[in-house]
Structure 1
C-alpha cells in the first residue's frame, strides 16, 4: 500500500479521496519514518474508520489489514511514542543541553515500565527497548557530573539517592569556586579586620547559593544571573548534546535542491537557496 500510493498522482488522489489524508511512506534516511507511517494509518482508521483503509486496499488490489494486525500496529504506536518523543528532545537543534539527558532517559524508562502491564503483543518490543536503553545509558545514571547537570537545569526531581550524589558534586565544586573567589579578594584585603572572614564568605557563597537556587520555582535561564557560581558551574556542565540530526537535515534538504535537472546551478546560488529553505520561517 505504501509503495503503490507513491507510484502515481492517481494513486495519491485515491488515498486523499478515501482517507482525507495522505499516507506517509517509510524511508531509510529517517529513523522515525516507520513510526510516522504506521501512526498515519492508525490515525486514518481512528478518524475515518477501517472502511477508509479497506477502500484504498481494494483500489490498489492489496490485502486488507486483519483485526489482529490493526491491534498490533496500534500497540506499536503506543509503545514507540515515548521513544520518539525522547529522541526528538535529545536531537533538537535548540535548547538541548547535557542536563536533559538523564531526565529524558529516566522518564522513558518509567513510561515503558507502565506499558508492560497494558500490552501483550508488543511486550517483546518493550523488553528490547528497555534492554537497549539500559545497555547504552545504564552506567550514565550513576555519573555525578551528569546528575549535577540535570539538577542545575531544574529538570530532575526524583530518585533521592541519585539526586544526593549530584548535590554532593555540586556542593564540592561550589565550595572550590567560593574558595578561589575568597582567595582573590583576600589578596586585596587584610585579615586583621576579621580573622574568620574567609570562612564566612565561603560558607555563605557556596551553600547559600545552592539552597537559594533550588528553592526557586522558575525554570527560566535568566534565573542563573542571580547566582554567579551556579551559573559558572552550569555553563561548564550543561554543554550542548552531540548529535548529527541537524547535519543530516541539512544534507537532506540539499539533496532535494540539487537534483539532476539542476546540475548546472552554481555554488553561490545553491548556497543561497539552501539558506532560504532552512530559514523560511524568518522570511
Structure 2
C-alpha cells in the first residue's frame, strides 16, 4: 500500500489509519460473511436464518470481550451488536424458525448449546418439539392413506382377522427411533435425509421455498406504486401499512 501511495505521489497511510481499517474489517467481517451466506442462490433454506443470527451474535459478543479493547471502532462494534439484537428480538424464540433449523442436517440440535446466552430454548425442549412435529406429520400421513380405502370394510376385516403380534411397534414408535438416529447421525449432507423419511417430509414441508419469484415481484411492484415521486416522504411504518392494505385489498 505504501508503494502505491508513493507511486501516486500521495501521503502514506498513517499507523492510526491502518489500525482503523484493521479494526473495521475485523468487526464487520462476520456481518459481511453472514450476508454472503444468506444471499447465495443455491442451497439456501429458511433453517439457516437463526443459526446464522446466533453465530453472528456470539462472534460479536466475543469481539466485545476481547482482552485488548479496540481503540477506534469499539462503539461501532457495540452499536452493531445492539442493533442486531433489537432488530431481530421478535424472532429469537420463534418456534417455527427453531424447528426448521433443527430439521437441517447441518445444525440439528448442537447449535443451540453454544447460543444459550441469546435463546432460552434448551436442546431438550427442541427435541420434544421436533418429536411432536414429526409424529403429527406421520399420523396425518397415515390418516390420509387410510381415508383412500373402504373404511367400513377395513374395520370389519380388522376386527375379524386380528393377527397383529403384541410386541409389534406402531408408527409412533418408528418415528421415535428414526428421530434418534437422525439426531445421532454425523452426516451434514442433505442427501442423508433420504434415510429418515419422516424427517425428510417435515424438512420439505417447512424448509422448501417458493418455486417462483412472481409473488415477490408483485409485492415489489405494489411498493413501487405506493412510493411515488410525490409520496417519497412516507415513514417506514406508514409505507408498510399502505403496501399491505393495497396488496391485500381483495382479502379485505
> In structure 1, what is the equivalent of residue 170 of structure 2?
201
Q: TM-score, normalised by structure 1?
A: 0.59
Partners of 2:122 and 2:83 in 1: CA distance: 21
Query: Given that residues 194 and 200 in structure 2 are in contact (C-alpha distance below 8 angstroms), is that contact kept between their aligned partners in structure 1?
Result: yes
Q: Distance in 2 between matches of 1:91 and 1:167?
A: 29
Q: Any conservation in 2 of the 1:76–1:122 contact (CA below 8 Å)?
A: yes
Please tell me whether residue 119 in structure 1 is matched to residue 69 in structure 2.
yes
2:123 is aligned to 163
- Report whether the alignment pairs 1:234 with 2:203: yes
CA distance in 2 between counterparts of 1:204 and 1:122 reads: 55
Alpha-carbon shift at residue 111 of structure 1 (Å): 1.2
Match of 1:102 in 2: 50
Retained in 1: the 8 A contact 2:34–2:56? yes
SS of equivalent residue, structure 2 residue 170: helix
Does the aligned pair in 1 maintain the 2:46–2:207 contact within 8 Å?
yes
Q: 1:173 aligns with which of 116, 120, 133?
A: 133
Deviation per CA, 1:146-168, whole angstroms, max 9, x where unpaired? 11111111333133534344333
User: Aligned with 1:142: secondary structure?
Assistant: coil
Q: 2:24 & 2:53 partners in 1: Cα distance?
A: 19
Alignment partner of 1:56 is 2:9 = no
Residue 214 of structure 1 aligns with which residue? 183
Say if 2:38 and 2:49, in contact at 8 Å, map to a contact too. yes
Q: What is the TM-score when the length of structure 2 is the normalising length?
A: 0.66
Match of 1:131 in 2: 82
**Is the CA contact 2:50–2:98 (under 8 Å) kept in the aligned structure 1?**
yes
Cα separation, 1, equivalents of 2:163 and 2:100: 36
84 and 105 in structure 1: CA distance in 2 versus 1, 3 angstrom threshold: same
The CA deviation string for residues 190-232 of structure 1, in whole angstroms up to 9 with x for no partner, is 44326898x9423223322211211111111122112222111
* CA shift in 2, pair 1:205/1:119, >3 Å: same
Match for residue 227 of structure 2?
none
- Number of positions where the alignment pairs a residue of Structure 1 with one of Structure 2: 190
